[in-house]
């Protein structure tokens, strides 16, 4: 699917040693992918990286030059391993500052809760110079945007709130539509014909093949994704014709 003039792209960088060690299960990538697809933005790559400032800064530099938008998750809390803000500052060669408006908001929040606005808690107001706070409904603590990089929390509920606040301001592409065909043939039987159809329509659609479980009688679901519903329909019909020629049956979804 290579309609470049209509294509808006994004990448996600999931930050945290806890993700790489398996001690925490990521719940953010699926939401990010679905939210961006709904906005017509193609998520082209996802990376999971450690709490290592050199790695974070290098990855942000690389990805922000390759896609329209980069979204990072994790590492913007009050503890010693929450280093994403300073690493993003390094990636942009900007000093890390305490954002005045955000600091004021945090002090008011801590006063209301009756807790000390200590240096550790106030780290959550740190941003690269020139960054814009990303205010949202989930918490008084914002994420932030630095040019095309959006820095979001790792806590899933807060990350979703931050992303929901960011998406309306993004440039949108054509929405990606999907259509599926389910059949009783194996992937091995379908593979050659499916490859030929994909090659013929490579500029317009992506075709995915997904074998189903024993509970689903080992059927295969073929999913066509593209921005033109008419082309999607044409490809679906070609796939149905191929299934019939191979002696297979279309299974109602």
Q: Is the pLDDT of residue 216 over 70?
A: no
Q: Can you give the pTM of this predicted structure?
A: 0.87
Question: What is the Cα–Cα distance from 86 to 177, expressed in whole angstroms?
Answer: 39
Domain limits for position 9: 4-169
pLDDT at 1: 47
Question: Which two structure tokens, joined as six digits, stand for 91?
Answer: 């990636």
Residues 123 and 235 in one domain: no
Q: Is the pLDDT of residue 3 over 70?
A: no
Residues 224 and 135 in one domain: no
Question: What is the Cα–Cα distance from 245 to 247, expressed in whole angstroms?
Answer: 5
Q: pLDDT, tens digit, for every residue of 137-181?
A: 999 999 999 999 999 999 999 999 999 999 999 999 888 899 999
Residues 135 and 187 in one domain: no
Residues 77 and 47 in one domain: yes
Q: Mind giving me the DSSP string for 185-234?
A: S-HHHHHHHHHHHHHHTTTTEEEEEEE--GGGTT-EEEEEEES-HHHHHH
Question: What is the Cα–Cα distance from 72 to 11, expressed in whole angstroms?
Answer: 9
Residue 253 forms part of a structural domain? no
Domain-terminating residue out of 169, 203, 237: 169
Question: Which two structure tokens, joined as six digits, stand for 69?
Answer: 């938008």
What's the number of domains the chain is made of? 2
Q: pLDDT, tens digit, for every residue of 78-108?
A: 999 999 999 999 999 999 999 999 999 999 9
Residue 90 forms part of a structural domain? yes
C-beta neighbour count of 111 within 10 angstroms? 11
């Amino acid at each position: 699917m290579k309609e470049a003039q209509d294509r808006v792209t994004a990448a996600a960088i999931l930050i945290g040693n806890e993700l790489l060690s398996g001690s925490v299960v990521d719940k953010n990538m699926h939401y990010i992918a679905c939210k961006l697809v709904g906005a017509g933005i193609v998520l082209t790559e996802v990376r999971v990286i450690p709490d290592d400032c050199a790695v974070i800064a290098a990855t942000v530099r690389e990805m922000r030059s390759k896609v329209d938008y980069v979204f990072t998750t994790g590492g913007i809390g009050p503890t010693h391993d929450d280093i994403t803000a300073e690493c993003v500052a390094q990636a942009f060669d900007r000093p890390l500052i305490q954002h005045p408006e955000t600091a004021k908001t945090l002090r008011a929040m801590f006063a209301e809760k009756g807790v000390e606005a200590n240096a550790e808690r106030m780290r959550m107001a740190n941003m690269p110079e020139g960054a814009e706070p990303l205010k949202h409904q989930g918490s008084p603590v914002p994420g932030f945007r630095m040019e095309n990089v959006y820095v979001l929390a790792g806590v899933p509920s807060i990350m979703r709130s931050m992303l929901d606040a960011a998406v309306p301001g993004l440039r949108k592409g054509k929405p990606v539509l999907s259509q599926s065909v389910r059949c009783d043939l194996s992937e091995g039987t379908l593979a050659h014909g499916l490859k030929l159809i994909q090659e013929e329509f490579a500029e317009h659609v992506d075709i995915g093949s997904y074998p189903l479980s024993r509970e689903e009688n080992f059927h295969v679901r073929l999913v066509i994704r593209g921005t033109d519903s008419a082309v999607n329909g044409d490809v679906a019909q070609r796939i149905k014709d191929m299934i019939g020629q191979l002696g297979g049956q279309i299974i109602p979804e």
